[in-house]
């Protein structure tokens, strides 16, 4: 059941107590488009953090108010990709996807890091995850990470670093 939940949410790419109003960026889709490596995850739901499928990287593309998210996972040593399409809502930086899933872009400098809030309604419960992404495969970009930590430190949430070769393959366009 855990794997199914996270598969439904594509490892919950698609972010803990923060509301959509806390979106602090005037989102420019062309700037946030492209490759992102997942570095850290926080959630008040332990179930979310124990998923067998773990997102390693994303590739975002935009067409008007629509977003396409290509996510790559490491599933038992194999790289698996999933693609989902969503559309921007009335709030800048908020995107809705099928299955009552939403993504909020909470913070980004476009060049180094992005902090996303993912939420979904599943079996009558709301699940929320904050995710920290970088453009780089080699570094976690400390200024962005400290911003992520500031946003989550007082929430008593769990955090896991995620590393792997699947993100590298996505960045190179091989998956």
- Whether the per-residue pLDDT at 57 is higher than 90: the answer is yes
* Mean pLDDT, residues 72-89: 91
Please write the tens of the pLDDT for every residue from 104-159. 999 999 999 999 998 988 778 888 888 999 998 887 767 888 888 888 876 655 66
Residue 35 binned pLDDT confidence (cut-offs 50, 70, 90): very high
62 pLDDT above the threshold of 50: yes
Mean pLDDT over 45-49 rounds to: 62
Reported confidence tier of residue 83, pLDDT bands at 50, 70, 90: very high
The closest of 65, 106, 61, 51 to 83, measured between CA atoms, is 61
pLDDT of 12 reads 35
101, 82 Cβ separation under 8 angstroms = no
Domains of the chain: 2-171 (2.40.128.20)
pLDDT in tens, 1-32: 333 333 333 333 333 333 333 445 678 999 99
**Do 61 and 33 contact (CB within 8 A), yes or no?**
yes
* Dist. CA 111–CA 92, nearest whole Å: 19
pTM exceeds cut of 0.85: no
In sequence order, the β-bridge partners of residue 114 are 108, 133
Mean pLDDT across 39-59: 76
At 117 the pLDDT is 92
Asked if pLDDT for residue 68 goes beyond 80, the answer is yes
What pLDDT is attached to residue 122?
73
């Amino acid at each position: 059941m855990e794997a199914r939940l996270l598969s439904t949410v594509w490892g919950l790419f698609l972010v803990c107590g923060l509301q959509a109003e806390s979106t602090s960026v005037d989102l420019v889709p062309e700037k946030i488009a492209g490759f992102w490596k997942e570095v850290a995850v926080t959630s008040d739901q332990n179930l979310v953090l124990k998923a067998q499928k773990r997102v390693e990287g994303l590739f975002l593309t935009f067409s008007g108010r629509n977003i396409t998210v290509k996510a790559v996972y490491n599933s038992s040593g194999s790289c698996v990709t999933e693609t989902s399409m969503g559309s921007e809502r009335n709030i800048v930086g908020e995107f809705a996807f099928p299955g009552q899933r939403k993504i909020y872009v909470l913070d980004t400098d476009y060049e180094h890091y992005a902090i996303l809030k993912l939420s979904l309604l599943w079996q009558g419960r709301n699940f929320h995850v904050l995710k920290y992404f970088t453009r780089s495969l080699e570094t976690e970009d400390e200024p962005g990470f400290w911003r992520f930590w500031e946003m989550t430190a007082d929430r008593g949430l769990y955090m896991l670093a995620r590393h792997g070769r699947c993100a590298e393959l996505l960045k190179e366009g091989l998956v």
